[in-house]
Amino acid sequence: MTRHPTRPSRSEDLPAAVLWDMDGTIVDTEPSWIAEEYVLVEEAGGTWTDSDAHDLVGQDLLTSAAIILDRTPVRGEPEQVVRRLLDGVVQRTRAHVPWRPGARELLASLRERGVPCALVTMSWTELADVLVEQLPAGSFDAVVTGDQVSRGKPHPEAYLEALARLGVAPELALAVEDSPTGATASTAAGVPTLVVPHTVAVPPLPGAVQRGSLEGLSPADLGGLARSLRSELHPDQRVDRVHDQA
């Protein structure tokens, strides 16, 4: 996907781009993933718990599949496990898109202000397509999915790929995440990160700030957050470096 040709010019108080996680951040698909995990494991005669399910939140899908194969009687190749889970989640999401509070409104505001957005998700293309189809055309200028990268979150590859597609420096962008794995990936890529925890708690990370919800946030708010976090990710740019050295 490429940049929308009719975007208005972007104000300097805004982030150069916003990079969005999907599951748990824009849409509340985590309950669907967990439900499909329970079905899969129980059909194989095994036991699955919420604790097990929470260990998979934010992970690359092949990593999640490997964990299921290691902990349960489920058998097959990791790709087969992913396909069974993914088909169920896609079906559930097509029947009902569970939007997270404030996400669509903030996406629309960013588009109106000319801020490029990328979707950076470990879900595979089939599920990302369901989301993209439910949003106005041009909501995302790039879409990077788990089946497009060789190393999933918490590795920063997906975020670095999104930045390259947008042509944006990491410190000028802002990522929106909801999980420890995702926030680790975005900050490792050098992107200031807004964390909105949902299914699992997220520990404090340098370069990341936490908010309870996206509701009420504006593009300018995101720009302010990005500026305030840059020094934590890029110490050489800190205006107080002389005081630190003293």
| Torsion sign (Cα): 183, 186, 189, 190 | negative
Q: Give the model confidence (pLDDT) of 157-185 as tens digits.
A: 999 999 999 999 999 999 999 999 999 99
Q: Above 90 in pLDDT, residue 118? A: yes
User: Mean of the pLDDT values across residues 200-229?
Assistant: 96
Both structure tokens of 246? 């003293």
Does residue 143 have a pLDDT over 50? yes
Res 190: pLDDT: 96
| Cα separations in angstroms, 161 against 24, 28, 66, 111, 172 | 21, 24, 24, 21, 15
Would you state the pLDDT for residue 10? 55
Query: Is residue 219 pLDDT above 70, yes or no?
Result: yes
| Model confidence, pTM | 0.82
Higher per-residue pLDDT: 83 or 240 = 83
Q: Report whether pLDDT(241) > 90.
A: no
Of 181, 154, 158, 193, which is closest to residue 57 (Cα–Cα)?
181
Mean predicted confidence (pLDDT) in 132-145:
96
Per-residue pLDDT band for 60 (boundaries 50, 70, 90) equals confident
Buried b (16+ CB within 10 A) or exposed e, 10-43: beeebbbbbbbbbbbbbbbbbebbbebbbebbee
76 in Cβ contact with 128 (< 8 Å): no
In the prediction, which pLDDT does 153 show?
Answer: 94
Strand partners, 23: 27
Is the pLDDT reported for residue 16 higher than 60? yes
Stretch 212-219: mean pLDDT = 97
Tell me the pLDDT of the chain averaged across its residues. 90
Q: Calculate mean pLDDT across residues 54-58.
A: 87
> What is the sign of the dihedral through the CA atoms of 163, 166, 142 and 203?
positive
Which pLDDT value is given to residue 140? 98
Whole-number pLDDT of residue 38: 97
Share of the chain above pLDDT 70, in %: 90
8-17, 90-99, 162-171, 195-204: least confident range: 8-17
Mean pLDDT of the region 78-87: 94
